[in-house]
Every structure is written in C-alpha cells, then in structure tokens.
Amino acid sequence: MGPARSLSKVKKQRTTLTLPSDSLTKAKKIARVRGRNLSTVIAEALSEGLRLHEAAERSEEVLKAYRKAFSGFTEVERALLDGIVLERAPGADS
C-alpha cells in the first residue's frame, strides 16, 4: 500500500505551517508532476522523514545496547565476534 493510500485512512488535523520558500516551491512542483494536491505531498514527505528519524533512533538504541553488552571485550575480541577475519588462515595461500 503506497503512502497516499495509507494517509487517506488516518485521522487528519488542520494546521498552519511556515515553510522555507525553496521547500514549498519544490513540494508544489512534485505535486504538479504527480497530479496530487500540495497537502498530500507535504504529508507524505513529513511521514517519510518521521519514519527515517524513528529508524535512526532505533539504530542508536541497538548500537548502545551492543556497546554495553560487549564493553568487557578488547577491540580484537569484538572484531572476532563480529566475524571479521584479521589474518589469513594457515595454508590459505594455496
């Protein structure tokens, strides 16, 4: 299901925004090219930005948990746990 359809099923609320002129101009152009209204284009862009922000926050939480869980290991031990091969295995040249 695309962003436009999913947005049509959500509760909506009116608001007034002050946007940078260049952003508004770009949004109007996208709306014109896609045959959509400006409100839909801005709502889709905002939803996508919020989704990316939430994903970045989750990534940061995972990284913090990883660092905490492996804080007692040396850098070499962490690299080995990550599956990074630091040296060639004996006889790998053949």
pLDDT in tens, 22-38: 999 999 999 999 999 99
Contacts of 3 (CB under 8 A, 6+ apart): 44, 47, 48
Residue 43 has pLDDT above 90, yes or no: yes
Distance set, CA 23 to CA 20, 50, 64, 75 (Å): 5, 17, 34, 44
> What is the pLDDT at residue 69?
86
